[in-house]
A and B are shown apart, each in its own frame.
Chain A
Amino acid sequence: MVNSTRPRNGWFVWFTFVLGLLLSVSPLPQFMEILRPLWLALLVTFWTMALPHRIGMTTAFVLGLAEDVLYGTYLGQNAMILTLISFLILSLLQRMRTFHVWQQSLVILVVFGLGQLAQLWLSALTGNRQPTLALLLPALMSALLWPWVSFALRGLRRRLGIN
């Protein structure tokens, strides 16, 4: 806000990403496992929308690689999904910014659902196919969480003056 050309408080963005990585492996009760929100995708979406000049597909790709190592999938699988999500958000950026937060939620439901379908396709290729379409539930969960996540992060972003 003071000087829009120089990056400020960039550490906070990466701090949220680290937190997202932790959340994506944190132990949950058995019945909640299937509902685990796509934390990294949510964070990538928020920061892509807030700072499109700094956070984009390359960041998403790197984070996806980290997720691959954590989950033990082939390197590149989650990277590709996150890159795709980031690309879709970037291309919808102008429209998303004018939307109300609930409309954004709907867009996120569709985008993340596409991501999860691509995930299903990739894991079927690599030999562990999930038996049901229950894997769309994380997308729904993420869409429901979006208003709160974006509200909290926007508040923090204003306070820290991140740009």
Chain B
Amino acid sequence: MRLLVLVVLSISLMVVDARFTLLQPVRSQMSLVLMQSYWITDLPQRLYQGVASQFGSRTELVAENEKLKTEALLLQGRLQKLAALTEQNVRLRELLNSSALVNEKVEVAELIGMDPNPFTQRILINKGERDGVFLGQPVLDARGLMGQVVELMPYTSRVLLLTDSTHSIPVQVNRNGLRAIASGTGNPERLELRHVADTADIKEGDLLVSSGLGQRFPAGYPVATVKEVIHDSGQPFAIVRAVPTAALNRSRYLLLVFSDSRSPEQRATEAAQAQEAADHQGQVAPGTPAPAVPAAAATPAGASATPAAPVNGHSAPAANSHTPATPAAAAPATAPAKPAHGTSRERH
């Protein structure tokens, strides 16, 4: 009798949970307590990492620091080029009258657990509804797209990875823009491209990026690289296998993408305004350090020569670079030696 009651109860619970959102509050209240268990089971690893970093040898730390520095340098070098390219891209898009590229906002989240079911590819992250995460939100790691949020809890959420067998993502070959759909296979190292014509121009090593056609993932993020293309004359379509670029089962820190909900026109005008403002600021900026120049020029005349010397050295290139510093030089003639000390402090 009790069995009957409980089985009927669980079936009705399942139906209600599948069809309606009625049970969502119950589930999130329960998850508040229960999700701590992922945190607890993750604790030994956390502790181990903490201890390892505490007792990491100095040489290791120095080596790591060195490596990070070179990496930062490389990335900054690339970023310099990127600024120019972005600007060029915006200009070209203006010429083409198409909407500007969006700058998505990202937030860092940390992995707290893998789904215990070996047949699904899902992970848990430490950001939830209270942090502004929403259903269907794209998740990246440093190398590419990882998946999307499928379940929200107050302080955690569940992410379905690209390689889950129920997941598909619209992609594009970066080289020529060929569109396809990449489906997960359940294997964390493999995606399959479905229904690609046998004659399609796709080959080994091609980078697949998200095309943004599904309205869910932002366009242009790397998804996978093509590993093999098999042309089987007995099959109607080519078999294309790809490896995800993101380290799906190794990344510990992930990025949540917040794309804005504005319409393309709004985005374009706002991007144009932002660009204008930036240009304007760029023009004004050279003028701003000017007030420091007369102060520096005035100090050598004063008694305090030693603290002023670095100031002079610092602002000298600024003074050289733009000769129209005349209004600035003329104006603060009344504010010389006394604030010079102060400015030199600030400069240091």
- Residues on A lying within 8 angstroms of B by beta carbon are 21-22, 24-27, 30, 33-34, 36, 56-58, 61, 64-66, 69-72, 74-77, 79-80, 83-84, 87, 122, 126-128, 130-131, 135
Contact = CB atoms under 8 A, between A and B. Distances in A.
Given A25-B41, A57-B3, A131 B119 contact: yes
Nearest to B188: A30
Contact of A80 (B11, B114, B150): B11
Contacts of A87: 3
B14 interface: yes
Given A30-B118, A36-B118, 20 more contacts: A22-B37, A27-B41, A56-B2, A57-B2, A64-B10, A69-B34, A70-B37, A71-B117, A72-B151, A74-B18, A75-B14, A75-B17, A76-B10, A79-B6, A79-B13, A83-B6, A126-B14, A126-B18, A128-B165, A131-B119
A125 B256 CA distance: 31
Contacts of B17: 74-76
A72 B114 CA distance: 12
Contacts of A84: 3, 7
Given A76-B9, A127-B166, A71 B30 contact: no
B115 interface: yes
B121 to A, nearest CB: 11
A25 B37 CA distance: 8
Contact of A75 (B2, B6, B27, B37): B27
Given A72-B115, A76-B13, A79-B13, A65 B30 contact: yes
Contacts of A128: 119-120, 165-166
B14 A74 contact: yes
B3 A75 contact: no
A21 B3 contact: no
A61 B116 contact: no
Contacts of A56: 2
A75 B23 contact: yes
Interface string B107-118: 000000111111
B116 A25 contact: yes
A49 B53 CA distance: 47
B190 interface: no
9 contacts: A24-B116, A25-B41, A61-B6, A66-B34, A70-B34, A72-B151, A75-B17, A83-B3, A128-B165
Interface string B128-166: 000000000000000000000011000000100000011
B6 A69 contact: no
Interface in B1-33: 2-3, 6-7, 9-14, 16-18, 23, 26-27, 30-31
B42 interface: yes
A71 B116 contact: yes
B8 to A, nearest CB: 10
B222 to A, nearest CB: 24
A58 B18 contact: no
Given A61-B9, A87-B3, A36 B34 contact: no
A130 B119 contact: yes
B37 to A, nearest CB: 5
Contacts of B165: 128, 131
The 8 residue pairs across chains A and B that have the minimum distance between CB atoms? A76-B13, A76-B10, A33-B118, A80-B10, A76-B14, A26-B41, A130-B119, A74-B14
A75 B13 contact: yes
A131 B186 contact: yes
Given A27-B42, A33-B118, A66 B30 contact: yes
